[in-house]
Structure formats: structure tokens, C-alpha cells
Amino acid sequence: MSLPRELFEETTLYDRILFVALLLLSVSSFFLVGEIIPSGGTVTIEVDGRTAYRLSLHDDRVVEVRGPIGVTRVEISNSRVRVTESPGPRKLCIRQGWTERGVIICLPNRVVIRVGGEGWGGLDAISG
């Protein structure tokens, strides 16, 4: 008698139901993990390529980081992030305003703020 046949014969209906349920659970995990596990709730502040802070997007606070040319001040409020102070001459990162998801870059001070996890809202990069 072959092993699968033997196994089949020696299991009860409940064993089989349990097996199918576990199988379904494992298959569904492929599709559901991304939905069940919350993502996009973090703010990562990098200075010169190194992570300085990893914070919750949902805790309001003000953080200051020191880059090569001075201090960049980052504000987290109402699940949004903005830069309120930056030593860069053109203040582009301040002008960007509130961001709920994406990346804020203060290039002269080498500060990168990633809001809501990796990437730019489902995009892998932005040209322009």
C-alpha cells in the first residue's frame, strides 16, 4: 500500500478538514499578509545615508537633526510630516509642505525623510 493512500485511509474526516483549513490559511497568507500587517506608519529620517530616527507617523513631535551644514527641523503632526527649518539656501524641502506619504529631501544638508514606509506611493522612483 502506498504511503499517501495509507495516510488518507488512516485519517478521519476531521483530520482532513483540519489539513485543508491549514492549507487554505497558508495559501491565503500569500495575499493577506500585506493587508493584515499595517504598513506606512513610520517616518525614517536619514542624515548622510545613515538612519538617525525611525518614528511613528502617528505620534506628534518635532525632531531636529544635524547635517553637514546645519540643523534641519522636522515636524510630525496629524499623521503628516513637514520640514520647518533647513539651512539649504533654496528651502525647497520647506516649500514642499506637509507630506502624508513619500520622500522629502533636503539636499544641501543631506537629510532624507521617508514618510509612510519605502517608496513613493506605489512608485519605485520619480523622474524629474
Residues contributing to the site for another protein (CB under 8 A): 9-12, 14-15, 18-19, 21-23, 25-27, 29-30, 33, 46, 48-49, 89-90, 92, 95-97, 99, 102-103, 105, 107, 110, 112, 118, 120-128
Which residue, 23 or 62, is less far from another protein as judged by CB?
23
Q: What is the longest distance spanned by two Cα atoms in the chain?
A: 81
Grouping H, G, I as helix, E, B as strand and the rest as coil, residue 9 is helix
Measured from the CB of residue 120, what is the shortest distance to another protein in angstroms? 6
Which residue, 36 or 95, is less far from another protein as judged by CB?
95
Q: Do residues 74 and 45 lie in contact, with contact meaning Cβ atoms separated by under 8 Å?
A: yes
Residues in a beta bridge with 72: 65
Question: How far is Cα 55 from Cα 46, in angstroms, rounded to an integer?
Answer: 12
Measured from the CB of residue 27, what is the shortest distance to another protein in angstroms? 7
